[in-house]
Amino acid sequence: MMSTQPQKRVIPEPPSKLKTYFTFFIILLLIFGSAIQTNTSITELIAGFPNMMDLLVQMVPPNWSYFGKIVPAMLETIRMALLGTTFGAIIAIPIALFSASNIVKNTWVFYPVRFILNLIRTIPDLLLAAIFVSIFGLGPLPGILALTIFSIGLVAKLTYEAIEAIDPGPMEAMTSVGANKIQWIFFGVIPQVLPHYISYVLYTFEVNIRAAAVLGLVGAGGIGLYYDRTLGFFEYDKTSSIIIFTLVVVLIIDFISTKLREKLI
Amino acid sequence: MIEFNNVSKTYPNGVKGLSNINLKIEEGEFVVIVGLSGAGKSTLLRSINRLIEISDGEILIEGKSITKAKGSELRRIRRDIGMIFQSFNLVKRSSVLRNVLSGRVGYHSTLRTILGLFPKEDVDLAFDALDRVNILEKAYSRATELSGGQQQRVSIARALAQEAKIILADEPVASLDPLTTKQVMNDLKRINQELGITTIVNLHFIDLAREYATRIIGLRAGEVVFDGPVSEATDEKFSEIYGRPIKKDELLEVEV
Amino acid sequence: MSNTTRPLIKPKKNKTRIWLIYITLALIYIWAFSGMPLPDVKETAAQVSKAIFSGIFSPDWDYVYLPDGEDLLRGLLDTLAIAILGTFISAFLCVPFSFLAASNMSKGRSLSNTGKFILSLIRTFPEIVMAIMFIKAVGPGSFAGVLALGLHSIGMLGKLFTEEIESVDPGPAEALTATGANRLQIIWFAILPQVLPGFLSYTLYRFEINVRSASILGVIGAGGIGTLLIFALSSRDWERVGIILLGIIVMVTFIDLLSGYIRKKIV
């Protein structure tokens, strides 16, 4: 069917596949290395599978009467998340302003502030909680502090990015009417970023509720403590009621928060 | 040969796409379908390889009913029908060669194609097809790196690599500039003449239709209102098909 | 004043609503603060924080590498290995899952909705609780951590993968259908090349998150650097706490930079 002289055509050289092979090799190496490092064994998983099924079977039906007992702990969890988010959100405001390159024009200010902000964001909340527990002892206080620091990192980062994206027009207008720096921020910047800021705070609250629910595992208050307790005593039906209760609370708060955020923007 | 027997198409929203179409298209014809947008050109073309399901009637390809075909039988009939789209429909991140080879997947097992084990004859076929549309040197470029006209030639090459006996082209030049329009239409015409592939093209440029077609089919509101050789397709006939005088933007007017 | 000529229209309804919001907020905060524990700070608190701070500034460098047994480098390596393997497992499992959950791929609407519901359930289930359950199954250690991350990450990755599939250009798939390709061939030749860069980028993003997650799994005995931190904290070895924190900060920062660089190159 095709009858053009095939001898005459010049077929281009295919590009080298060396880079592709090399990348695949590196990825395979990483995966196998990781498997060895973590003592991964499929046989162990299969052997342990009945154990897990057993555990899952024991989790149903959940112990419904346990709900009453954990309500105070759940309220404490919400309280921790609320306070941690609030404190963090307040402290985040000046940090966000100092990190934004269109507010503080001095490179020597906003780069170091951002650097510290990034450092804060590298430490997971549960580790912060563990450290605070060893400073302040058991209870919700270390949990609140850990969530505060975590919230500073998240709110400040999102907010300073929002500040850098605002319309410079109103800020120029404020400069031209002779406003000082504080007036300039209050009338030129804050009205523009406020809806974003509130939305980020709500989002952080959603994240913090989930985080607060497990902080108890290191003794930092909230419902997480009860995971340890029930799993330690092999009361899996109680564990599943904690999980379900937490899921319900998380979903309700997510729902409310999402609705509020939709209205804001 | 393609046969339409009493074909109708009604969309779920009640819109009539085609009503009672009866057509016979012989091997080697170069048919151009004209009509206003919404007249059912695209529906007619896409019903041939069953990208659109018709609601009534039957379509026969080389005597076999594509309307009744199922599964692998349907895929086998489709394998013999190449298609060219207005927006090229290439996989933009893949190489040109891979796009052309994707025309061959209907010939092999799933496993073989997924492992990329196309036989040497297939690769030769793909190079031949690219050579025929003069973009062999781009074989290993990514499709995105090509201009619109070049991309459309890749999709013609895909249809050629498919060893299609019929080529359907749905507004193949609508997103191209006048100059590349000519090149693409010339490619289609040359392939039609050299390889005897039955070609059916939807166009909205009247002068292009007259220049390239051996037969023109006019559609209006889902019905065939004209069917005849180019010599009979006068300006008055076109005004009839369109239901109004011909406008300027329905002419391409290129001086090549 | 010209009140008669220019009546000031006050949005009255809006005002009551704003007041309602203020009152609700006030009540919520009164409730929250009333339950706040009075900072019943141990007298050692100041001393301990000072010790931790001085620990961070004068870390126990010897702990970085010990020829025998548990040291910082091995702990970090373990953490990375858990994150790499957990991310790989979840990305691998996500592919079939997301094709089922994508509304433009699966035939029935119900299948797609069920898939999405399962994904959001997995997402809300805390990974650390998953880790506890896997410890019950395979015993304490890194492997339980790998399994927990592998399962938990499916929730988020699956959602992102599904959205990526739902945003593909349907053109190439149509072209493949027209050549007579079957379903699998259409997915392989027309859909996968379009979504692969997005899949890779999201996987790397999840890897960044998993490195952080893997460093806390040790708190409950699922391997990684967390275990060492808990040991150091309970034995009040603040200089060791300092070097471990420093190690985590350096590792996470480095991974973020590397992954961000690769992601920029992919897209």
Residue B80 to chain C, least CA–CA distance (Å): 8
- Count CB neighbours of B34 within 10 A: 28
C194 closest CB neighbour out of B79, B82, B93: B93
- Give yes or no for residue B30 having a pLDDT over 70: yes
Interface test with A, best of B94, B131, B163, B167 (most A CBs within 10 A): B131
Contact C128 A126 (CB under 8 A): yes
State the Cα torsion C8-C12-C17-C20 to the nearest 10°. 100
Residue A7: the pLDDT is: 52
Q: What are the start-end ranges of the H helices in chain B?
A: 41-48, 71-79, 96-101, 110-114, 120-132, 148-161, 178-195, 206-212, 235-242
- Burial of A3 by CB count in 10 Å (0-12 exposed, 13-18 middle, 19+ buried)? exposed
Q: At what angle do helices C45-57 and A125-136 cross, to 10 degrees?
A: 130
Partnered with residue B25 across adjacent β-strands are: B2
Q: Is C36 on the interface with A (CB under 8 A)?
A: yes
- Ranking A158-167, B8-17, C14-23 by mean pLDDT, the lowest is C14-23
Cis amide prior to A12 (ω within 30 degrees): no
Retrieve residue A220's tokens.
């930092």
Q: What is the pLDDT of residue B196?
A: 92
ipTM: 0.89
For chain A positions 195-234, those within 8 Å of chain C (CB to CB) are 210, 213-214, 217-218, 227, 231
40-99 in A: which are within 8 Å (CB) of C?
40-41, 44-45, 48-49, 51-52, 55, 75-76, 79, 82-83, 86
SS3 C20: helix
C190 interaction partners in chain B (CB closer than 8 Å): 91, 102
Domains of chain B by range and CATH? 1-28+38-79 (3.40.50.300), 89-199+236-249 (3.40.50.300)
**C155 domain residue, yes or no:** yes
Worst-scoring range by mean pLDDT, A209-223, B194-208, C37-51? C37-51
* Minimal C-alpha gap between A14 and chain B (Å): 6
Give me B233's structure tokens: 């397709």
CA distance C213 to chain A (A): 7
Q: What's the gap in Å between the CA of A5 and the closest CA on chain C?
A: 27
Residue C26 lies in a domain: no
Mean pLDDT of all residues in chain A?
Answer: 88
Nearest CA in chain C to A141: C37
Residues of C in contact with A243 (CB under 8 A): 125, 129
Please tell me the predicted confidence (pLDDT) of residue B188: 94
Nearest chain C residue to B90, by CA: C172
Of A126, A127, A39, the C-alpha closest to C146 is: A39
Whole-angstrom distance, CA of residue C213 vs CA of residue C80: 10
CA dihedral over A185, A187, A188, A193, signed as positive or negative: positive
Residue A2 Cα, gap to closest chain B Cα (Å)? 7
- Closest partner residue to C175 among B75, B79, B83, by Cβ? B83
Residue C208 lies in a domain: yes
Q: Which chains touch B (3 or more CB pairs under 8 A)?
A: A, C
Of A34-48, A77-91, A128-142, B29-43, which has the strongest mean pLDDT? Answer: A77-91
A-B Cβ pairs (cutoff 8 Å, strict): 29
Amino acid at A71: V
pLDDT at B256: 40
Q: Which residues of chain C are at the B interface, by a Cβ-Cβ cutoff of 8 Å?
A: 171-172, 174-182, 184-185, 188-190, 193-194, 196-197
Distance CA B17, CA B45 (A): 12
Q: Which residues of C touch B106 (CB under 8 A)?
A: 179-181, 185
Distance from CA of B214 to the nearest CA of C (A): 25
Contact across the interface for C219 and A144, Cβ inside 8 Å:
no
Structure-token pair, residue A203: 């989002």
Residue A110 lies in a domain: yes
Whether A33 maps to a domain, the answer reads no
Q: Do C133 and A55 touch (CB under 8 A)?
A: yes
Q: Which helix (H) or strand (E) holds C151?
A: helix C142-166
Does the pLDDT at position A5 exceed 60? no
Distances (CA, A) of A222 to A227, A252, B41, B170, C29: 10, 18, 67, 64, 18
Q: Is A3 among the domain residues?
A: no
- How many folded domains does chain A comprise? 1
Nearest to A9 among B125, B136, B160 (CB): B136
**C-alpha A173 chain-centroid distance:** 37
| β-sheet bridge partners, residue B201 | B32, B169
Lowest average pLDDT, out of A118-127, B187-196, C45-54, C207-216, goes to: C45-54
DSSP C96-132: HHHHHH-TTTSSSHHHHHHHHHHHHHHHHS-HHHHHH
Interface contact A248, partner C, CB < 8 A: no
Kindly list the distances between the CA atom of residue C189 and the CA atoms of A15, A82, B228, in Å, as whole numbers in the listed order.
20, 49, 40
Tokens for A60? 């149903």
Residue A197 belongs to a domain: yes
Task: Name the nearest CA neighbour of C52 among A134, A217, A117.
Answer: A134
Helical H segments across chain A, by residue range: 18-37, 42-59, 66-99, 107-122, 125-136, 140-164, 169-176, 181-184, 190-215, 224-232, 236-264
Q: Is residue A187 part of a domain?
A: yes
Give the total number of structural domains in chain C.
Answer: 1
- The alpha-carbon gap from B91 to the nearest alpha carbon of chain C, in Å, equals 6
Please indicate whether residue A228 or residue B23 has the higher confidence score (pLDDT). B23
Write the pLDDT tens digit of every residue in C49-88: 888 788 778 888 888 888 777 789 999 999 999 999 999 9
Taking contacts as CB-CB distances below 8 angstroms, the residues of chain B near C182 are 72, 75, 110
| CATH number of the domain bearing residue A118 | 1.10.3720.10
CATH code, domain with C183: 1.10.3720.10
- Give the domain extent around A76: 58-264
The contacts of residue B197 (CB under 8 Å, 6+ apart) are B28, B82, B164, B165, B166, B167, B191
Under 8 Å CB pairs connecting chains A and C tally to 153
State whether C189 and B113 contact (CB < 8 Å). Answer: yes
With respect to residue C8, please indicate whether it lies within any of the assigned structural domains. Answer: no
Task: Compute the residue count for chain A.
Answer: 265
User: At residue B255, does pLDDT exceed 50?
Assistant: no
CA-based nearest distance C182→chain B, Å: 7
Q: By the 8 A CB rule, do C105 and C184 touch? A: no
Residue A244 lies in a domain: yes
Give counts: helices (H), strands (E), chain C.
Answer: 11, 0
SS (H, E, C) B109-161: CHHHHHCCCCCHHHHHHHHHHHHHCCCHHHCCCEHHHCCHHHHHHHHHHHHHH
- Looking at residue C1, its pLDDT comes to 44
| Nearest-CB residue to A34 (from C39, C84, C133) | C84
φ and ψ of B206, to 5 deg: -70, -40
Query: Does A180 reside within a domain?
Result: yes
- Within a domain: C29: no
With CA atoms as reference, report the closest residue to A93 among A167, A202, A201: A201
Q: What is the mean pLDDT of residues B182-204?
A: 93
pLDDT (0 to 100) of residue C9: 63
Q: By the 8 A CB rule, do C175 and C43 touch?
A: no
Distance (Å, whole) CA A174 – CA A187: 7
- The answer, for C32 touching chain A at a CB cutoff of 8 Å, is yes
Candidates C179, C182, C197; nearest CB to B102: C179
What lies within 8 Å, CB to CB, of C42 at 6+ separation is A135, A136, A137, C48
What's the CA dihedral at A106, A201, C155, C247 to 10 degrees? 50
By C-alpha distance, the chain B residue nearest C168 is B91
CB contact under 8 A, C36 and A83: yes
Contacts of A237 (CB under 8 A, 6+ apart): A58, A59, A60, A61, A62, A63, A66
Please tell me the distance in Å from A39's CA to the nearest CA on chain C: 6
- pLDDT over 80 at B27, yes or no: yes
Q: How far apart are CA A221 and CA B47, in angstroms?
A: 66
| 8 A C-beta contact, residue C185 and residue C173 | no
When pLDDT is cut at 50, 70 and 90, the band that residue B253 belongs to is low
* CA–CA gap between residue C134 and residue C63 (Å, rounded): 30
pTM of the model: 0.87
Q: Which chain A positions have a beta carbon within 8 Å of C81's beta carbon? A: 33-35, 37-38
Neighbours of chain A (3+ CB pairs under 8 A): B, C
A22 lies in some domain: no
Our CA-based measurement puts residue A113 at a distance from the nearest CA of chain C, in whole angstroms, of 16
CB contact at 8 A, C193 and B143: no
> Which pLDDT band, with edges at 50, 70 and 90, does A4 fall under?
very low
Question: What single-letter DSSP state applies at residue B247?
Answer: P
User: Does C206 or A180 have the greater pLDDT score?
Assistant: C206
How far is Cα B1 from Cα C244, in angstroms, rounded to an integer? 77
Instruction: List the one residue out of B53, B59, B58, B66 whose CA is nearest residue B17.
Output: B53
Q: What dihedral angle (degrees, nearest 10) is formed by the CA atoms of C186, C187, C190, C192? A: -160
| Mean local confidence (pLDDT), B145-164 | 93
Lowest mean pLDDT among B68-72, B112-116, C8-12: C8-12
Instruction: Decide the pairing of beta strands B223-228 and B215-220.
Output: antiparallel
Assess if residue C202 is contained within a domain.
yes
pLDDT of residue B24: 93
Range with the largest mean pLDDT of A13-17, A186-190, B44-48: B44-48
| Token pair 């391409």 in the structure block, residue | B252
Residue whose entry in the numeric block shows the structure tokens 């005088």: B245
The DSSP annotation for C60-102 comes to: -GGGG--SSS--HHHHHHHHHHHHHHHHHHHHHHHHHHHHHH-
Looking only at the bridges linking them, the beta strands covering B198-202 and B56-61 are unpaired
Task: Report yes or no: B125 and B158 within 8 Å, Cβ to Cβ.
Answer: no
Q: How many residues does chain C have?
A: 267
Residues in Cβ contact with A8 at an 8 Å cutoff, skipping those fewer than 6 apart: none
Tokens of A181: 């720096």
Which bin fits C169, alpha (ψ -120 to 50), beta or left (φ > 0)?
beta
Of residues A40, A75, A139, nearest to C37 (C-beta): A139
Q: Give the closest-approach CA distance of C48 to chain A in angstroms.
A: 6
Residue B192 carries which side chain, given as an amino acid letter?
A: N
Determine the residue of chain A that is closest to B131 in CA distance: A9
Q: B91: which chain C residues are within 8 Å (Cβ-Cβ)?
A: 172, 189-190, 193-194
What are B59's strand-pairing partners? B4
Among B125, B140, B163, select the one facing A12 at the smallest CB separation: B140
C23-47 burial: b if 16+ Cβ within 10 Å, else e: eeeeeeeeebeebebeeeeeeeeee
Nearest by CB: B78 against C171, C179, C196 = C179
Per-position b or e across C95-120, b if 16+ CB within 10 A of its CB: eebbbbbbeebbeeeeebeebbebbe
Query: What are the average pLDDT values for consecutive 10-residue runs of chain C, which has 267 residues?
Result: 56 76 90 75 76 80 80 92 96 92 81 86 85 86 93 94 93 94 93 94 96 92 90 88 91 94 89
